[in-house]
Each structure stands twice: as C-alpha cells, then as structure tokens.
Amino acid sequence: MTRRSKPDSLLPDLSCGPTFVREEHMRRRGVWPVAGVDEVGRGPLAGPVVVAAVVLDPGRIPEGLADSKKLDARRREELYEEILASAEVGLACVPARDIDATDIRRATLAAMTRALEALPARPAHALVDGRDRPRAPCPVEAVIKGDATVSSIAAAAIIAKVTRDRMMARLCSHYPVYGFSRHAGYGTAAHLAAIREHGPSPFHRMSFAPLKNGVGPSE
C-alpha cells in the first residue's frame, strides 16, 4: 500500500513564485529523488490528457520557472528544452477514447502513475499538483497550487504543456477544420462552431458536455 505523507508548512507564499524549498528540505533529510508531477488537458473537448513527472538537478535548476499558464509560448519552449537537458523526466498520456471509457479524473490519476513509473530512477517522494494523489511507487504529497509554488511541479507543468501543445498542433495538420493548434481542444466558440458544422473527430471526448448532448452538424 502506498504511504501518503501529510502536507507540511513548507508551502511558499504564492507571490514568491516556484521555489526549490520543499525538494531541498527532503533532500537534506536523505529523501531523494523527489519528483514533481502535473497534468495538462483535463478540460478540453478533444485530445489527450498529458502528465509529466520531473526530478530537477539541484545544481542545475532552470532560471525563470513559473506557472506554465503565466508564460508565453516562446518562454515555455525555452524552459522545456532547458528542463529536458538538465532533469529526469517521465511522460504519460491518455487519449480521448480512454478518457471516455473511464472518466477524466481516473484517466489523469492513471497517467500520473505511469509518468512516475517512466522516470529513469524510482523517486523517493512525489509532489503532485492539486488535491488528488495517484497510486505510486513512493509516498505522494498533494500540493494545492503546486505549479505556482514548487519548482519541480512547475517544471512538470511546462513539460506537459509543451508536449500536449505539440501533439495538438500535429493533430491539427490532419484535422485542420477544428483549429486544434489555436485552442488546443478547449471549448472555444470557434471550436464549437466547427463541431456543429463538421461533427466530432475520432479525437473528441464524447463523454464531455456538450458533445454527449449531441452537438454535431447543423440540420
């Protein structure tokens, strides 16, 4: 059975941005490697949910790590390359069909487990963004707003975001009518209009509203 540690008082102030405080505290106690875990893609109507697990090198932490949502695309790409060059990374994704076969929460938790298992070395501890804790090969700690406060989680969010954006851009080249490269599968007005005109693609999540309610080509 996976042991689950309780949150402690090490959560930095949100105004400080991500720091390496939690990871360094555990490293000094002999708990290492410590992996940060985050997902991207829970809310879109199309495409996979993508999870990254990242173990940062304490001596080579990329400068400028931040909540991926607050970074522009160019800066995310730069940090993505820096993280891959200096950190250990595990990736996992769950496609739309598997999300429909279960639900988005279970699909995300399964991807978190797989991302941790994909790391080159088994982590001694995992810090996961949000409230949910996946089954894992190590103790797991949920950190609310972890992508804004914990360096390894912020790094995981950047890896997951860039990975998923690239996947959606490739998908857009095969299904250009939906504009996936512009909205990454989220339910924008243009995306919903494209679904009404063309119907859903094989990569749409049919269990998500409004798709499950029958949005499709206009009569």
Mark the binding-site residues, compressed into ranges. Answer: 38-39, 129
In 3-state terms, what secondary structure has residue 7?
A: coil
Structure tokens at 53: 């697990």
Cα Dmax for the chain: 65
Q: Which residues of 131-144 are buried (b: 16+ CB within 10 A; e: fewer)?
A: eebbebebbbbbbe
Which residue ranges are tagged as binding site for a divalent metal cation?
38-39, 129
Cα–Cα distance, 48 to 57 (Å, whole number): 28
| CA 218 from centre of chain | 34
DSSP 8-state class, residue 30:
T
